[in-house]
Amino acid sequence: MPELVYPYGQPVTAGILKSKPNDFRVCEELGFEPSGEGEHLFLLVEKEGLSTHELISRVASDYSLDPRLIGYSGLKDKHALTRQWLSLHMPGKKPPAELFQGNGYQVLRQASHNRKLRPGTHKYNSFQVHLREVGDLPDKTREQISAVTRQGFANYFGAQRFGRQQDNVTQALEQLPGRRLTRSRKSILLSSLRSHLFNRILAQRISLGHWELPLEGDVFMLRGNRSIFSETLDDRLVERFRALDISSTASLYGSGQVLLTGEPQAIEAQVFAEYDAITRCLDQQGARLQMRALRAVVDNFSYDYDAGDQSLLLKLDLPAGCYVTTVLDHFIKLQDAN
């Protein structure tokens, strides 16, 4: 995969990620309460050593359900201690009297709701990350951390989007045109193609110096509710951009009305032309245009560096769809213990 560009310079400090499962914790926050009635049973599940799809398979077996009747909002790391919500479609069935404990997971809470849980439904994720073998935390690193908290971070798709061998893009181009794939496999491969194009657009904009200020022709996304709009650039919009109320967006490639104009559109067109094999594949698969913020904002961020233990403990909240490893890449050279 091509190397990414970061707005505050490359990190000068290294650290070990996921030395043990408890070093990486994430809790999914819905942002709403289940209604208490309906055909869907919402479960808050804590898991360790399981991917989300492996979790769904085990829950389906334990609750005697077809896996297609189980909904989820976000994919959570396998090598971590995570909490996430699932929805089980159980019309006419009473919820279990006791919270279930399965192999590798346990149900912490359950409540009925009238809708299935869909991908991207949750509002944010809360992270607690313990990095090991961080030999020093120099001024440069502290300045980068401060910049991330004050100005946001480049909203790249994380490396996990592209597979353990970082070859999902290659596999997608080989497999999507002719093979019959499961729905989940096809979704993963299509997402990797669109994510790759988005990352290249974002890297290009940072390389060109278009990070601190928006461009004329940009489409903007509101912080919090992810609605988009386009307006003529003026001082009011620039101020909202600086206040982190809005951020510029780029396309997740697909068919649909392109709202970008001017230089933002030209940058995207250049990237799409460079990766025409990917765009052709996405066209053949009927991908639909979406927009994603180029910048995202960290909330409730704190860190504690222990020089004696050579460890760095970070706590932060991120909007749904953002990667904590992407945040860390702005100031730490990550090394995965796995």
Residues labelled catalytic: 77
SS3 label, residue 230: coil
With both helix axes pointing from N to C terminus, report the angle between 168-175 and 276-284 in degrees, rounded to the nearest 10: 50
d(CA 130, CA 304): 10
- Tokens representing 252 are 């997740």
Find out whether 206 and 5 touch, Cβ atoms under 8 Å.
Answer: yes
In terms of Cα–Cα distance, which of 54, 73, 156, 149 is closest to 115?
73
Length of the chain equals 338
d(CA 43, CA 22): 22
Contacts of 264 (CB under 8 A, 6+ apart): 215, 217, 218, 219, 248, 250
| DSSP single-letter state for residue 288 | B
d(CA 266, CA 277): 19
d(CA 171, CA 7): 30
Tell me which amino acid residue 167 is: D
Find out whether 110 and 43 touch, Cβ atoms under 8 Å.
Answer: yes
Q: Are strands 220-222 and 228-229 parallel, antiparallel or unpaired?
A: antiparallel
In terms of Cα–Cα distance, which of 154, 137, 150, 143 is closest to 301?
150
* Secondary element (H or E) of residue 305: strand 299-306
d(CA 183, CA 231): 38
